[in-house]
Amino acid sequence: MVGIAQRRRSNVKTCILGPMTNDILQRVERFHFPRGAVIPERRNRGYTLYHALSGAPVARLRPTGRNDSVEVLYWSASKERWTAAGPFGGTVLPLDEALQFIASEDIFWALC
């Protein structure tokens, strides 16, 4: 019984998140980053953006499940993990605003 329920939930997630996944990847790929192109990659429960030339991590986007809002994270070299981009915890923005935020803030480009 548990296996069937898990498969059904998995299929529902695929149906719901499938088109959104492609949409997010396409929107990131189309966005013009003045500091260089990025390559988005779907990983775990979000998207990792890498600098196209250096391969350095630029940002991590985690969908919140509300509309097209995402939590924005940056790679902390000192902590060696993804870290909240805001001064008071997580920064949650609609995708277009998140991409603008990433493009304009130096912290995301420190390793590039």
The rounded distance, in Å, linking the Cα atoms of 19 and 102 is 23
- Judged by DSSP in three states, 25 sits in helix
Interhelix angle 2-30/95-104, rounded to 10 degrees, is 50
Query: Does the pLDDT value for residue 91 go beyond 50?
Result: yes
Residue 21 pLDDT: 59
Residue 4 pLDDT: 42
> Considering the chain, what percentage of its residues have pLDDT values greater than 70?
81
Token pair listed for 90:
């997580």
Sequence-distant (6+) residues with CB within 8 A of 100 are none
What's the pLDDT tens digit per position in 5-54?
Answer: 443 334 444 444 444 558 999 999 999 999 999 999 999 999 999 999 99
Residue range 88-106: average pLDDT? 95
pLDDT tier, 63 (very low <50, low <70, confident <90, very high otherwise): very high
Domain spans in the chain, listed from the N-terminal domain onward: 2-109
The length of the chain in residues reads 112
The distance in angstroms from the start CA to the end CA of the chain is 49
Token pair listed for 89:
């915890």
Task: Look up the pTM and report it.
Answer: 0.79
